[in-house]
Structure 1
Amino acid sequence: MKFKYVVPAALLIFINIYAYAQGKLVDYHNAEALNGLMQKKTYYTPENIQWLAELQKFFYSRRTPQGLEFLVVDTKEQHKSPAFDREKFAAALSEVSKDKISATDLPITRLLMSSNGKELHFTYQRASWICELNTYTCKQNIDVPQHTDSGRTKSPDQKWIGYIKKFNLYISPAADQTKEYQLSTDGSEGNSYSPYMAWSPDSKKIAAYKVNTAKQRLTYLIESSPADQLQPKLRQRAYPKPGDTLDQYIPCLFLVDTKKQIPVNNSAINEQFSLTEPVWRNDSRAFTYEYNKRGHQKYMVMEVNTSGETRALIHEQSNTFFNYSRKKYRYDLADGKEIIWASERDGWNQLYLFDGNGKLKNQITKGNWVVRRVIKVNEKERNIIFEGSGMEKGQDPYFIQYYQINLDGTGLKKLTWENGNHSATFNEDYSIFIDVYSRIDEPATTVLRAVKTGKVIKELEKADISALLKTGWRFPESFSAKGRDGETAIWGMIIRPRNFDPAKKYPVIEYIYAGPHDSFVPKNFAADNILGLHELAELGFIVVQCDGMGTSNRSKKFHDVCWQNLKDGGFPDRIAFIKAAAKQYPYIDASRVGIFGSSAGGQSSMGALLFHPEFYKVAVSSSGCHDNRMDKLWWNEQWMGYPVGPQYAESSNVEHAANLQGKLLLILGELDENVDPSSTMQVVNKLIKANKNFDFLLVPGMGHSLGGDYGEHKRRDFFVKHLLGVEPPEWNWIPNITVPKS
Structure 2
Amino acid sequence: MKKIVLVVFYFFTAASPVFPQAPLSLEGIYRDNAFTQKRFGPIRWMKDSESYSSIEKNPRLDGDDIVRYEAVSGDRSVLISAEELIPAGATEPLEVADYQWSEDNSKVLLFTNTRKVWRYHTRGDYWVLDRDQKQLTQLGVGLPSSSLMFAKFSPDASKIAYVSEHNLFVETLVSKKITQLTEDGGENIINGTFDWVYEEELGCRDGFRWSPDGEKIAYWHSDTQDIGTFYLINNIDSIYSQPIPLPYPKVGERLSSVKIGVISAEGGATKWFAIPGDPQNNYLARMDFIPDSQEVLIQQLNRPQNKNTVWIGDTRTMELTEILEENEETFLDIHDNLIWMDDQQFFTWTSERDGWRHLYKVSRNGTSMTLLTQGAFDVERVSHIDPEGGYVYYIASPENFTQRYLYRSPIHETGKAERITPVGIPGQHAYQLSGNSQFAIHTYHNAVTPPTISLIELPGHKELRVLEDNGALKEKYDALGLRPKEFVKIDIGEVTFDAFMIKPVDFDPSKKYPLIIYVYGEPAGSTVQDGWMNGDLWHQYLAQKGYIVMSIDNRGTKTPRGREWRKSIYGQIGILASKDQYAAAQKILSTYDFIDASRVGIWGWSGGGQMTLNCLFRYPELYKTGIAVSFVSDQRLYDATYQERYMGLLEDNPSGYFEGSPINHAEKLEGNLLVMHGTADDNVHYQSFEMLADRLIQHNKLFSMMVYPMRAHGINERENTSLHLRRTMEKFWMENLTPGGR
TM-score, normalization by structure 1: 0.70
Taking the TM superposition and a 5 Å limit, the aligned residue runs for 1:570-581 are 570-581=577-588
> How far is the alpha carbon of 1:539 from its aligned partner?
1.8
Separation of aligned partners in 2, 1:476 and 1:198 = 45
Aligned residue for 1:302? Answer: 311
Sort the Cα spacing of 1:478 and 1:34 in 2 relative to 1 into closer, same or farther, 3 A.
Answer: farther
> Which one of 421, 427, 439 corresponds to residue 416 of structure 1?
421
Aligned counterpart for 1:316 among listed residues 298, 318, 326? 326
Equivalent position of 1:606 in the other structure: 613
Deviation at 1:663, TM superposition (A): 1.4
Residue deviations 1:370-404, cap 9 Å, x none? 1122222222233212222x22x3xx323221122
Of 634, 640, 646, 2:647 maps to 640
The reply on whether 1:220 has 2:226 as its aligned counterpart is no
Q: Is the 8 A contact 1:31 1:538 kept in 2?
A: no
Work out whether residues 484 and 576 of structure 1, in 8 Å CA contact, stay in contact via their aligned partners in 2.
no
Name the residue aligned to 2:394. Answer: 386
* AA aligned opposite 1:76: V
The answer to whether the aligner puts 1:404 opposite 2:408 as a matched pair is yes
Indicate the SS of the match to 1:654: helix
Aligned to 2:7: none
- Alignment partner, residue 717 of structure 1: 731
**TM-aligned CA deviation for residue 686 of structure 1:** 1.0
Pair 362,270 (structure 1): closer, same or farther in 2 beyond 3 Å? same
SS at match of 1:562: coil
Q: What is the identity, as a one-letter code, of the residue corresponding to 2:577?
A: G
- For the 8 Å contact 1:670–1:677, the answer to whether it is kept is yes
| Equivalences for residues 644-723 of structure 1 within 5 A | 644=651, 645-646=653-654, 647-705=656-714, 708-723=722-737
Select which of 499, 512, 521 maps to 2:519.
Answer: 512
Describe how 1:184-583 pairs up with structure 2 within 5 A.
214-226=225-237, 229-249=238-258, 266-267=275-276, 272-276=281-285, 279-282=288-291, 284=293, 286-305=295-314, 309-324=319-334, 327=335, 329-334=337-342, 336-388=344-396, 390-391=397-398, 393=399, 396-407=400-411, 408-410=413-415, 412-418=417-423, 419-441=426-448, 448-455=455-462, 465-483=474-492, 485-486=494-495, 488=496, 490-525=497-532, 528-529=535-536, 532-554=538-560, 555-568=562-575, 570-583=577-590
TM value normalised by structure 2: 0.70
* CA-CA distance at 1:574 after TM superposition: 3.1
Paired with 1:348 and 1:523, the residues of 2 have a C-alpha distance of: 22
8 Å CA contact 2:222, 2:256 repeated in 1: yes
- Any conservation in 1 of the 2:374–2:416 contact (CA below 8 Å)? no
Distance 1:429 1:466 in 2: 37
Q: Give the conservation status (yes or no) of the 8 Å contact 1:598–1:621.
A: yes
Q: CA deviation at 1:606?
A: 1.1
Specify whether residues 230 and 264 from structure 1 end up closer, same or farther in structure 2 by C-alpha distance, changes over 3 A only. closer
List gaps (5 residues or longer) in structure 1.
Answer: 1-28, 63-69, 85-95, 98-107, 131-140, 163-168, 170-186, 727-742
Q: How is 1:623-638 mapped onto 2 (pairs within 5 angstroms)?
A: 623-638=630-645
The one-letter code matched in structure 2 to 1:503 is S
CA distance in structure 1 between the aligned counterparts of 2:110 and 2:228, rounded to whole angstroms: 44
8 A Cα contact 2:28 2:34, kept in partner: no
Contact 2:669–2:701 (8 Å) recurs in 1: yes
Larger Rg: 1
- Structure 1 CA distance for aligned equivalents of residues 112 and 676 of structure 2: 36
In the alignment, is the contact (CA less than 8 A) between 1:481 and 1:576 conserved in 2? no
Structure 1: which amino acid aligns with 2:581? R
Map 1:145-164 → 2, pairs under 5 A: none
Identical pairs, percent: 23
Number of the residue aligned with 1:166: none
Aligned with 1:76 (options 72, 89, 97): 72
Q: 8 Å contact 1:594–1:616 — kept in the other structure?
A: yes
Looking at structure 1, the residues matched to 30 and 682 of structure 2 have their Cα atoms a distance apart, in angstroms, of 31
Please tell me the residue identity of whatever aligns with 2:404.
I
Counterparts in 2 of 1:722 and 1:475: CA distance versus 1, 3 Å: same
1:7-50 CA distances to partner (integer Å, 9 max, x unpaired)? xxxxxxxxxxxxxxxxxxxxxx965477499976799x874473
1:466 shift after superposition:
5.0
Query: Structure 1 residue 717: deviation in Å?
Result: 1.9
Amino acid corresponding to residue 596 of structure 1 in structure 2: W
The one-letter amino acid paired with 1:239 is Y
- Check conservation: 1:625, 1:675, Cα contact below 8 A: yes
Structure 1, 374-383 or 50-59: larger mean CA deviation? 50-59
The verdict on how the C-alpha distance between 1:220 and 1:75 changes in structure 2, with shifts beyond 3 A counting, is: closer
Task: Give 1:353 deviation, angstroms.
Answer: 0.8
Say if 1:510 and 1:245 are closer, same or farther in 2 by CA, change over 3 A. Answer: same
TM superposition shift of 1:298: 0.6
SS in 1 for 2:684: coil
Q: Give the letter for the 2:445 counterpart.
A: S
RMSD of aligned Cα (Å): 5.3
With a CA cutoff of 8 Å and minimum separation of 6, indicate the structure with the bigger relative contact order: 1
Partner of 1:732: none
Moved more, 358-367 or 313-322: 358-367
For residues 218 and 657 of structure 1, the distance between their equivalents in structure 2, rounded to whole angstroms, comes to 28
Question: For residues 77 and 582 of structure 2, what CA distance do their matches in structure 1 show?
Answer: 51
The verdict on how the C-alpha distance between 1:470 and 1:441 changes in structure 2, with shifts beyond 3 A counting, is closer
Amino acid at match of 1:355: S
Q: Which whole-Å CA distance do the structure 2 matches of 1:442 and 1:697 have between them?
A: 34
- When residues 710 and 575 of structure 1 are mapped into structure 2, their CA distance, relative to the original with a 3 A threshold, is same
DSSP 3-state at the match of 2:542: helix
Unaligned runs of 5+ in 2: 1-22, 58-64, 80-90, 127-135, 162-167, 169-183, 193-206, 716-720
Relative distance call for 1:421 and 1:295 in structure 2 (3 A) is same
The one-letter amino acid of 1:56's match is S
* 8 Å contact from structure 2 (residues 454, 463) kept in 1: yes
Question: CA distance change for structure 1 residues 260 and 58 in 2, over 3 Å: closer, same or farther?
Answer: closer
Alignment partner, residue 43 of structure 2: 50
Q: CA deviation at 1:222?
A: 2.8
Question: Does the 8 Å contact 1:38/1:468 carry over to 2?
Answer: no
Mapped to 1, the partners of 2:26 and 2:620 lie a distance apart of: 31
Moved more, 308-317 or 368-377: 308-317
| Equivalent position amino acid for 1:223 in 2 | N
Letter in 2 for 1:724: T
Structure 2 vs 1, CA of residues 33 and 505 (structure 1 numbering), >3 Å: closer, same or farther? Answer: farther
- Secondary structure of 1:683's partner? helix
Per-residue deviation at 1:253?
A: 8.1
Q: 1:317 to 1:696 in 2, by over 3 A?
A: same
